[in-house]
Amino acid sequence: MKDHLESSIFGDHDDHADVHDPVGHDAAHPAAPPASRRELREAELAAKRSRGRRRSAGGAREGRGKPPWWRRLIVIVLALAVIGGGVVVAYHALRPVVEGFLESNDYPGPGDGSVRVTVEQGAGGSAIARELVDADVIKSTKAFVEAANADSKSGGIQPGVYEMKKQMRAADALALLVNPKNRIVTRVTIPEGLWATEIYAKLSKASGIPVAQYVAAAKDAEALGLPSSARGNVEGYLFPASYEFAPDSSAAAQLKQMVGESVKRLDALGIPPEKMERVVILASLVEGEASTEADRGKVARVIENRLASNTSIGFDSTVNYIFKKRGVPTQDMLDSDSPYNTRRFKGLPPGPIANPGESAIQAAAAPPAGDWFYFVTVNLCTGETKFAVTAADHAKNVAAFNAWRASTGGKC
């Protein structure tokens, strides 16, 4: 019994040694008894299960650190799709910008069609450029500004209306604008001393507007800006000068501009509105009688001297105004009972008899000192006029005129 137990104990110990130490034993140690087949089979199955657990644990660890190839492929495909979409969006967003850099900011010209462009008073280069771009005359403000900066004449562009083509080169558009002859305007020159009816006819011829429209517009004193002392009468306030009217300006607008010029001159002389009418009446008489600018002040003084002495002014020009006829008045004309007939009635006529210029206005506003009471033009061709203080001296001057007329037949 003792031997059997010891043998069993030693046998179990050697079994353990075989499992954990596969190295063979030398002859000093006795060999372990052979194991049964069932025990060997169970040991083999246990080893296989142990190796399987180790492989499963290792695979799990590999899965957490490095995904399978097909997952990596999906990620790559998705990344490329996102990048591709971004490229498409960027292309559409940046295309206009890139094309803007590459495309010319100027038309090649010479352009075609026709368009009217208005350059406003005081407009600078940038404002003019925007107007041209809006009308499709030029392609960009940048092209026009560059052309203007390179041309010293660009600062002389005058306000007005210009006939231009569409899609012109900026430099060609600038060249058109710097030439004032290209402005579309109604140009008319009104000489001094005309009656309002004569001015209407000149304006109508230049503008194509019927005379009737000027006559109608002249009745709206408030719209024209007449001073209150004018009592609604436009005669005398249509300042004689050279005018350029916009092509679409109305009859009222043109008359208003002319009235404004007269009022501006009167204001500059310090004449208040309530005294403007008297000055304009006096100036119209000066304009109707003085042959030269040098005589205007003296004629104004003769009028003031006669008014001061309660003597009739006695001018033929006032009679001519009644009948709207120029030249030497007939006796029938001189007998007119119109208050404008200064041959018969004392004092100033009830209104201006012409539209005086600036020098006549200045003479009427401040006539020179003098005792002249008479004057007569002794040569109608040269306008030579002689002034006299006494009736006797005046008679001599009249005789000189008669002699000239006899020798020339009154013709130049």
Residues paired with residue 376 on neighbouring β-strands, in sequence order: 386
**Separation of alpha carbons 290 and 364, rounded Å:** 12
Tokens of 66: 């490095």
Burial of 113: CB neighbours in 10 Å, binned 0-12, 13-18, 19+: exposed
d(CA 161, CA 185): 7
**Per-residue pLDDT for 27 more than 50?**
no
**b/e per residue 9-18 (b: at least 16 CB within 10 A):** eeeeeeeeee
Buried b or exposed e, range 326-353, using 16+ CB within 10 angstroms? eeebeeebeebebebbbbebeebbebbb
pLDDT in tens, 46-97: 666 666 555 544 444 444 556 677 677 777 767 676 676 665 555 565 555 5
Give residue 83's pLDDT.
Answer: 75
What is the CA angle 248-253-259, rounded to 5? 145
Domains and their CATH numbers in the chain: 112-184 (3.30.1490.480), 195-372 (no CATH)
pLDDT of residue 103 exceeding 90, the answer is no
CA 46 – CA 50 distance, rounded (Å)? 6
Burial class (CB in 10 A: 0-12, 13-18, 19+), 259: buried
Sequence-distant (6+) residues with CB within 8 A of 126 are 141, 145
Least confident of 75-79, 113-117, 171-175, 259-263: 75-79
- The span from the CA of 34 to the CA of 31, in Å, is 9
- Quote the pLDDT of residue 165: 97
Task: For residues 304-316, give the mean pLDDT.
Answer: 96
pLDDT of residue 258: 98
22 pLDDT above the threshold of 50:
no
Contact (CB, 8 A) for 161 and 184: yes
Residue 78 confidence (pLDDT)? 74
**What does the alpha-carbon distance between residue 50 and residue 144 come to, in Å, rounded to a whole number?**
89
Helix/strand/coil (H/E/C) assignment for every residue in 170-184: HHHHHHHHCCHHHEE
Give the model's pLDDT for residue 30.
43
Provide the percentage of residues in the chain whose pLDDT is more than 90.
68
- The reply to whether omega before 110 is within 30° of 0 (cis) is yes
Query: What contacts 2, CB < 8 A, 6 or more positions away?
Result: none
Of 358, 360, 347, 280, whose CA–CA distance to 313 is shortest?
A: 347
221 vs 2, which has greater pLDDT?
Answer: 221
Q: Among the listed ranges 26-35, 113-122, 151-160, 313-322, which one has the minimum average pLDDT value? A: 26-35
Q: In the prediction, which pLDDT does 143 show?
A: 95
d(CA 342, CA 333): 12
Beta-bridge partners for 164: 115
What local confidence, expressed as pLDDT, does residue 328 receive? 87
Q: Taking 60 as the threshold, does the pLDDT of residue 24 lie above it?
A: no
By three-state DSSP, how is residue 260 classified?
helix
For 66-80, 83-97, 236-250, 353-367, which range has the lowest pLDDT when averaged over its residues? Answer: 83-97
Task: Grade residue 332 by pLDDT with cuts at 50, 70 and 90.
Answer: very high
Give the Cα separation of 95 and 197 in Å (integer).
66
**Mean pLDDT over the full length of the chain:** 85
| Residue 173, pLDDT score | 97
Is 60 exceeded by the pLDDT of residue 118?
yes
Backbone phi, psi, residue 269, to 5°: -85, 0
Selected residue with higher pLDDT from 34 and 367 = 367
pLDDT of 17 over the 70 cut: no
C-alpha of 135 from chain center? 12
The CA-based angle 366-371-372, given to 5 degrees, is 90
Give me the percent of the chain exceeding a pLDDT of 70: 77
CB neighbours of 135 closer than 8 A, spacing ≥ 6?
115, 117, 164, 166
Q: How far apart are CA 168 and CA 185, in angstroms?
A: 22
pLDDT digits (tens, 9 = 90+) for 372-386: 999 999 998 999 999
Query: Is 9's pLDDT higher than 50?
Result: no
Least confident of 93-97, 222-226, 360-364: 93-97
CA–CA gap between residue 385 and residue 400 (Å, rounded): 11
State the virtual CA torsion across 229, 230, 232, 234 in degrees, nearest 10. Answer: -160
pLDDT above 60: residue 371:
yes
Interatomic CA distance for residues 130 and 127, integer angstroms: 5
Q: Which residue pairs, CB below 8 angstroms and at least 24 apart, start in 299-304?
A: 299/363, 299/375, 300/363, 300/364, 300/367, 301/367, 301/368, 301/369, 301/370, 301/372, 302/372, 302/373, 302/374, 302/375, 302/387, 303/367, 304/367
Residue type, 194: L
Our CA angle for 87, 91, 94, nearest 5°, is 130
Q: Is the pLDDT of residue 260 over 70?
A: yes
When pLDDT is averaged across residues 3-8 and rounded to a whole number, the result is: 36
Q: Is the pLDDT of residue 38 over 80?
A: no
34 pLDDT more than 60? no
- What is the per-residue pLDDT for 397? 97
Q: Which residue has the higher pLDDT, 394 or 328?
A: 394
pLDDT at 400 over 70: yes
When pLDDT is averaged across residues 157-166 and rounded to a whole number, the result is: 94
- Is the confidence at residue 368, as pLDDT, over 50? yes
